[in-house]
Every structure is written in structure tokens, then in C-alpha cells.
Chains A and B, each alone.
Chain A
Amino acid sequence: MKTRMLSLAGLLLAGPALADPDDDTLVINGEIEIVTKAPAPAHLEDVFDTIISGWHYRNDETQAIEADDFENPGMLGVEAARDDWFEVAGTGEESCASCHGEPEEMAGVRPVYPKWNEDAGEVRTLAMQVNDCRTSRMGAEPWKYAGDEMTDMVALISSVSRGMPVDVAIDGPAQSTWEAGRDIYYTRYGRLELACANCHEDNNGSMIRADHLSQGQINGFPTYRLKNAKLNAVQSRFKGCIRDTMAETFEPGSPELVALELYVASRGNGLSVEGPSVRN
């Protein structure tokens, strides 16, 4: 009882500081060291000194779930995707494994996506690339852009790159898409007239109703959210955020959200890939 009273006093005194990011360190399965704080990339130096993974904004119990694959429910999606990886589908009689071998061969892919695709002449997300493989190479039906199968597959591809630093290219042919994404990031949407920056730049570390506002880094996506008990695609999160401003949203897979994903990913250049991460 005494401890409870003490901690209650702490609660009252601490006030708004409670929502600040903590200084814990994340090591997954006791072996994958995750960089959760890093110097801001050059294009972001005027905004942040340090970029911080959303992991630091969660409480200890939630943080611990991500540190062990056995406890991380997002790994159930990864396991499901592993089955899909080896499953022959479509008219081409091929599976992902026919070309790519083991999923572990995809290490290093997640950190550089979204990425300019020269043949297609566009910036592509991992999900777009997976569906391109399914339709043009395998002769299979495309998956729903942010559906469960796709999100699980992106989680699998992400999981084998955990610990590697995010490093998306923002110059060259990708630059115009990146700039379009940046414009969206700073555009106020909806009846509440909120841009991404109003929450995630100006107010990270504060509470938004009952939840902590992070920097909005996406190195941890796909993310297992305790609130809906499933893996969430990054663009579903974007859509949810824009919806919360009481705006008409862009759809997952739309050019606007692809551009936004590239831009937001670039704000995390230097953080480790964490997906599938665990958040509230």
C-alpha cells in the first residue's frame, strides 16, 4: 500500500512529463540490438536533434512484448506469411521462394523501401512490389493493399531486416515523390485542421487524449497494436491519423500515401528496422 501511495504521489508530481520517451534499450531475443535513438538525418536537422522510435513512448510491459518473438503476437503474422512464401500460387506455378529462396534472403530489402523502380518509373512500396510479383511474375491475384495477407508478408520481409538501419533514398528520381510526401506531411487536413507535423513534430511527448504522441516514426511497421489485436500496415495508420483530423482520407495504396510513406520513412533514416513492432 505504501508503494502504491508513493507511486500515486509520483504520478501527481510528474504531470505531463509522463508522456516523454524513456531511456530503455531494446534487444530482441537477446541478440538483435535495435537502434531506437539516432541523430536526425540531414534533412530533418532543423526539426529534431534526435530521432526516436515509437517504442520509447510505450510503457515497460508493452516494450517487453516486442523484445521476445515468442511473446510478440506480430510474429504470428510472420509465421502465416512464411507459409504463403512457400505456397505455389497463380498460373506461373511459382511461389515467392521459386525466385527468392528463403525469406532470410530478403534481409536488407525493408530498410530501403519505398524505393524508385526504374522499369515502372515510379516509387514503389514493399506492398506494391509484392503485388507486382504476384500479378506479373506469378500470374496470381493481387492481395488487398493493406489486407491481412499483404501486411503479414510485409511483416515477414521486415522481420528478417530487424536491426538494420532504415536508409531510403530521397534524391535522384525519388526526389519529386519525396517532396510530394513532405508537402502532405505539412498540409493541414480535416475539420480539425491538423497536419502530421502539428502532432508529431510540435507535440510529441505529450498526450493526445489517453495515448502518447510519438514522433510518428514508421521503422516499426507493420505494427501489432494491442487495441485491435492485429498487424497494422503503415498506410492504414496514415489513413487512421487523417481520419482522426475529421478529413476525407486517402486510401492505402494511393499515390498520396505512397509519397507520404517515402517521406515519413526518410525521417527515420538511421533507426533500426523494428517491424513487426508492438504498440498500444
Chain B
Amino acid sequence: MADGVKPRVRVPDEAKAGEVIQIKTLISHPMESGQRRDDDGNLIPRSIINRFTVEFEGESVIDVAMEPAISSNPYFEFEATVPSSGSFVFTWYDDDGDVYTEEKTVTVA
């Protein structure tokens, strides 16, 4: 697996019903494009996160197909409406088959 991969997510702990909240996510990852060569002229194999999804209680919030031109440590910021208390599940899919997940619970007062 790629080294030093660590997902990070920022979601407010609490929200009002129907409130639009801001979500920030970042995963540390080299996002090796597969286009570069090492010092000996050999192609460095592609190794990227190719898909990022967010679900809220089983419902898809976003689903992103990611391509090799995306820079290292991909960062996503987006808004979501929270209808009720529940959990966001964040999932990153690595080229090498690894899947990284993170879960955050939001309480609707």
C-alpha cells in the first residue's frame, strides 16, 4: 500500500434539522500519476485514490471518480443537508485495492 495514507474529516458535531452543513475532507496520499520516471528512467507505477464516496445513513451524498491529474493529498469540501441525527461514512478507494473509511456522527438537536 501507499505510505503514510491517513484520512481526515471535519464535520460539525451538532446541527439543526434540515441545516446545510459544511464538510471538509483530506486524505494524505502521494497520488502518483504513473507518468513520471525515477532516476534510472523507469516508469513509476500509477498509485492514486480513484474514487471517493460519502454516504449518510446509507444514502449517497457524493460519489467522485478521481483521475491521475489530481494533486497529492486530495482535499474535498462540500455542503450537505442533515435531515436527522445520523452518521456520515467517508470512503476512499486506492488503486492497490485498499479502502480507507472514516465515520462521523452528527446529532440533530
Contacts and interface: CB of A to CB of B under 8 A. Distances in A.
Contacts of B4: 80
Interface string A229-266: 10000000000000000000000000000000000000
Interface stretch (A68-76, A116-124, A199-207): A68-76
Contacts of A70: 8, 10, 24, 26
Contacts, number: 17
B8 A229 contact: no
Q: What DSSP secondary structure best describes chain B's contact surface?
A: strand
B87 to A, nearest CB: 20
A80 B30 CA distance: 14
Given A71-B75, A229-B72, A229-B73, A76 B10 contact: no
Interface in B4-57: 4, 6, 8, 10, 24, 26, 28
Contacts of B8: 70
Contacts of A80: 4
Interface string A50-81: 00000000000000000000110100100110
Contacts of A76: 28, 73
B6 to A, nearest CB: 8
A186 B6 CA distance: 45
Given A70-B8, A76-B28, A80-B4, A229 B71 contact: yes
Interface residues of B, number: 11
Contacts of B73: 73, 76, 229
A81 B12 CA distance: 27
17 contacts: A70-B8, A70-B10, A70-B24, A70-B26, A71-B24, A71-B26, A71-B75, A73-B26, A73-B73, A73-B75, A76-B28, A76-B73, A79-B6, A80-B4, A229-B71, A229-B72, A229-B73
Interface string A71-103: 101001001100000000000000000000000
A280 to B, nearest CB: 14
Interface residues of A, number: 7
B72 to A, nearest CB: 5
A76 B75 CA distance: 12
In the A-B complex, the 6 residue pairs with the smallest Cβ-Cβ separation, listed nearest first, are A76-B28, A229-B72, A70-B10, A73-B73, A229-B71, A70-B24
Interface string A113-140: 0000000000000000000000000000
A88 B6 CA distance: 22
A79 B73 CA distance: 13
Nearest to B8: A70
Contacts of B26: 70-71, 73
B90 to A, nearest CB: 14
Contacts of B28: 76
Contacts of B71: 229
Nearest to A65: B75
Nearest to A230: B72
B80 to A, nearest CB: 17
Interface string B67-92: 00001110100000000000000000
B3 to A, nearest CB: 10
